[in-house]
Amino acid sequence: MTSIPKENDPNKKMLHTLAPGEQFMHNGEKYTRIADERLSCCKVNNCIKLSDNSKTMIVPATNVEVV
């Protein structure tokens, strides 16, 4: 379960608040936010992992660190 950050760190935001094109860190990996790309009723790609250029989905309510 993801919770709202307790500190007011301007670099920590919820993924769903980022605009397409913004870069962020999650679990030590760097990603770029993209416009939602629906693959099925419950699978939506919403970011690109920069290390291997693969599209993936991270739960929109996840806290990420903006870089």
Give the pLDDT confidence score for residue 1 in this predicted structure.
Answer: 52
Low-confidence stretches of the chain (pLDDT beneath 70): 1-7
Calpha distance 50→67 (Å, rounded)? 13
What range does the domain containing 34 cover?
A: 21-50
Looking at residue 39, what is its pLDDT?
Answer: 94
**Domain membership flag for residue 8:** no
User: What is the pLDDT at residue 9?
Assistant: 82
Count structural domains, the chain: 1
The pLDDT, as a whole number, for residue 10 is 83
Query: What is the structure's pLDDT at 3?
Result: 56
Distances in whole angstroms, Cα of residue 52 to Cα of each of 1, 10, 12: 27, 28, 24
Task: Tell me if 40 is assigned to some domain.
Answer: yes
Tell me whether residue 14 is in a domain. no
DSSP 43: -
Per-residue confidence (pLDDT) for residue 29, from 0 to 100: 97
Contact 26, 62 (CB under 8 A): yes
In a domain, 42, yes or no: yes
Q: Is residue 35 part of a domain?
A: yes
